Amino acid sequence: MRHAGIPTGVHVLLERGGEVLLMRRAGTGFFDGLYSLPGGHVEEGESLRATAVREMREELGIELAEASLEVLGVVHRRSDTNRIDFFLRAQAWLGEPQIAEPNKCDDLRWFARNALPAAIVPYVRDALTAGAGPWISESGWG
């Protein structure tokens, strides 16, 4: 029996001086107006780390090395569909993050971990407060 695929997302945590980089979603139709970590969907034939490298180049205009990425955790969540989201931390990157896709993001800002915005994607807030990884959690299942 063939099973339908589950959309798989990759979120990347960038930290600098005790702060995390969040972007406010806009124009996507999905969590618009809320802050989230930068990231995107895994494409056919792409690894998690390759997805992170591509997405950070597309969304923020920065370069990552796959070897600089550490897996923090996984969220299996029920949203508009059944979804799996991987959270990775970038140990280092080249370039200064900027809004490279203004049609999908209208603000980019560094936040202290103890002062995250109220308008944040709930499962992203949970991931940012989950502690040291690796961890796994479920969201929206009741």
pLDDT 10s digits, 116-127 = 999 999 989 989
**For 71-91, what is each residue's pLDDT tens digit?**
999 989 887 778 899 999 999
Phi, psi of 48 (to 5 degrees): -60, -50
Q: What are the structural domains of the chain?
A: 8-139 (3.90.79.10)
Phi-psi sector, 19: left (phi>0), alpha (psi -120 to 50), beta: beta
Average pLDDT, the chain: 91
SS3 assignment, position 42: coil
What is the H or E stretch that residue 21 is in? Answer: strand 19-25
Compute the average pLDDT of residues 25-29.
90
Q: Report whether the peptide linkage leading into residue 38 is cis, meaning its omega lies within 30 degrees of zero.
A: no
Residue 4, pLDDT above cutoff 70: no
pLDDT band for position 61 (cuts 50, 70, 90): very high
Residue 1, pLDDT above cutoff 60: no
What's the angle, vertex CA 21, arms to CA 122 and CA 28, rounded to 5?
A: 55
End-to-end CA distance of the chain: 28
Contact assessment for residue 66 and residue 48, using Cβ atoms and an 8 Å cutoff: no
Global pTM reads 0.90
